[in-house]
Structure 1
Amino acid sequence: MTNERRVLVHPDKSALAGSVAARFITKVLDLLDVQETVHVVLTGGSMGGAVLEAVRNSPAHTSIDWSRVHFWWGDERWVPDGDAERNDRQSREALLDSLDLPEGHVHPFPASDSGLSLDDAATAYANELARFGMDGLPHPVFDIVFLGVGPDGHIASLFPHRSGIQVVDRPVIAVRQSPKPPPERLSLTRPVINASQRVWLVLAGADKASALGLALAGASRDEVPVAGIKGRRRTVFFVDRDAAAEVPEALIARDY
């Protein structure tokens, strides 16, 4: 088993989304050749949606038996079901609604109008994760975790100088007073993400360059949360040229 961290640079956002989508399709096909199901964690944001749209628009996506794929999310905004700000709605519109997916294979976080409190919603998602626990863990060992990275280096809803990135005793946390609206959210915790086989971080834009550079230079995870993220087998930063501005040349991979 290898554990690698690589930076793959693309000329622009469009090329970035297309490349990640193609790699995703290929990897899911490879995984389904050797295992019964695949568990994927999705992310929100403009690049998260762009990648899923590129998957939908690729003719190759029809070669996947999507009924064997489970979809989860790394975090969610505490807003009503169907709200345009919810990551799950964005993912459904970009890709999931076009696939032949068993309903039980789509695992959205509870919504603010679900009748649950924020804390109870965190517990409910933890219980859903536990239904698919693997390797003695109370959650799946995710095959691919997609993450975006904020200009401040946050991933999921784990923010700098907040306690969320330090939580290790539970798989899901309730987030309050988020520095990024809305103030209330739900998020997977770092141990769940780091237990995954592959973490694919997709980021674009000059405003991400500093966070990426700091993470690769060994910054503290409390200062730059993305610095504390690493998959079991592989961690790949898929970036555009602008986001790579502060990445040392020696860290840029020439191939996957």
Structure 2
Amino acid sequence: MTTSRRVLVHPDKQALAGSVAARFITKTVDILDDRGTANIVLTGGSVGIAVLAAINESSARDTIDWSRVSFWWGDERWVPRGHADRNEQQAREALLDHIAIPATNVHPFPASDEGLELDDAATRYADELATHAEDGTELPHFDITFLGVGPDGHIASLFPHRSGIQVADRAVVSVRDSPKPPHERLSLTRPVLNSSERIWLVLAGADKASALGLAMAGASRDEVPVAGIKGRRRTVFFIDKDAAAEVPESLIAPSY
């Protein structure tokens, strides 16, 4: 299967969130028409949550049959269920609590107050992924995976100069040395993220420009983890003008 990578620049964070939200709604309707169901992997961060809020605010929100959509997460902070820092909680407040989606279609990571150790929680989420796998695989068919990018180039909870980005023998990794708090987290591994048909990286701000520029210039995934991310069909960087400062002009798509 051929794959492509594009960079789409928007004037500011608000325009970025609105544009990605509109594109998500249109694409998800198409995926449901084509496949019947859709599996979406969500991210956290201010821009990722802004996209979910923009989907919720869209007049086209309910053109999606949410009963046929399932949500997963790329990573999660090891804090109690309902904690304001959980990506799950932020996503629920921004979108999931406002749409007609069955509870069984929402697949959050385990939480720190559920009686599990961190490694056991990683195993449990890997088991849940396997339970919903496509025939002959160990993973669901991920249609769209949202990712943010940190100023250091990290994606999900896979950080530079940490072992997580190198793990390829399991679906979920437990993280104990995150350079940003909380230090304990759970994350999908790079091969799982890259199994997605489409990866949509959404980022804004001048502090992301250096990492994005390095990734586009061919930096190693160990130095800049986002450099190791590539969807099976398509990889799109949705960015604002500030984040585009170090991206070569030749890589920026004129439109979509």
Classify the TM-score, shorter chain. over 0.9
List, as ranges, runs of 4+ consecutive aligned residues in structure 1 with deviation greater than 4 Å.
none
Secondary structure of 1:34's counterpart equals helix
Contact 1:168–1:190 (Cα < 8 Å) also in 2: yes
Does 2:97 correspond to 1:97? yes
Q: Matched residues in 2 for 1:84 and 1:112: separation?
A: 13
The 5 Å alignment of 1:237-252 reads: 237-252=237-252
Does 2:154 correspond to 1:157? no
- The code of the aligned residue for 1:38 comes to A
The 5 Å alignment of 1:132-211 reads: 132-134=132-134, 136-211=136-211
- The code of the aligned residue for 2:252 comes to I
Q: Matched residues in 1 for 2:118 and 2:147: separation?
A: 22
Q: Matched residues in 2 for 1:117 and 1:48: separation?
A: 28
Q: TM-score, normalised by structure 2?
A: 0.99
The 5 Å alignment of 1:3-22 reads: 3-22=3-22
Q: Matched residues in 2 for 1:91 and 1:97: separation?
A: 8
> 1:149: Cα distance to partner?
0.1
> 1:134: Cα distance to partner?
1.9
Instruction: Calculate percent identity across the aligned residue pairs.
Output: 75
Unaligned stretches of 5+ residues in structure 2: none
> 1:135: Cα distance to partner?
5.4
Q: Over aligned residues, Cα RMSD in angstroms?
A: 0.7
Q: Matched residues in 1 for 2:23 and 2:224: separation?
A: 27
Number of aligned residues:
256
Q: TM-score, normalised by structure 1?
A: 0.99
Secondary structure of 2:80's counterpart equals coil
Match of 1:61 in 2: 61
Match of 2:220 in 1: 220
> 1:137: Cα distance to partner?
2.3
1:144-163 Cα shifts (integer Å, max 9, x gaps):
00000000000000000000
Contact 1:135–1:141 (Cα < 8 Å) also in 2: no
Cα–Cα, structure 1 residues 208 and 135, in superposed 2: closer, same or farther, change >3 Å?
Answer: farther
> 1:47: Cα distance to partner?
0.3
Secondary structure of 1:165's counterpart equals helix
Q: Matched residues in 2 for 1:166 and 1:77: separation?
A: 20
Match of 2:43 in 1: 43
Secondary structure of 1:53's counterpart equals helix
Q: Matched residues in 1 for 2:204 and 2:159: separation?
A: 19
Secondary structure of 1:243's counterpart equals helix
1:112-144 Cα shifts (integer Å, max 9, x gaps):
001010000000000000011125321112100
Match of 1:33 in 2: 33
Q: Matched residues in 1 for 2:242 and 2:10: separation?
A: 9
- The code of the aligned residue for 2:56 comes to R
